[in-house]
Structure 1
């Protein structure tokens, strides 16, 4: 996705049919730069969003709902009423 719309990179790069393969090949930056130079294939409002990587190897989560969160982040948000 670029400011111009959605560029179908999978149609141009059959060797990487999914985002997972692009990442594994170390080609994410290369394809992002290429997408910026190309005309959009689709308008953003014409696409349906799906899970970007259906079967990830890892799921990494960051918890910020705990009592000392505000001391650590110092972002001005209110303390959570029910920290988990």
Structure 2
């Protein structure tokens, strides 16, 4: 879930303007296909200067145990100032 603000100290809202403190949040990455429970996200800049979202996830074709988690990544794109994968 993501929110944003024009100030580092608050007023964070989601894409629809719902405050984070009132249950707001826009989904950036959720389970899809064989990707289950993506989490532990971070962002780095690749050699082409693009922001990349990285995370771990369980694959429904491999197994759901912690030891079976895999590493995933997606280059972020932007739409109306909001990131998407």
Q: TM-score, normalised by structure 2?
A: 0.21
Larger RCO (CA under 8 A, 6+ residues apart): 1
Higher helix share: 1
Q: TM-score, normalised by structure 1?
A: 0.21
Higher strand share: 2
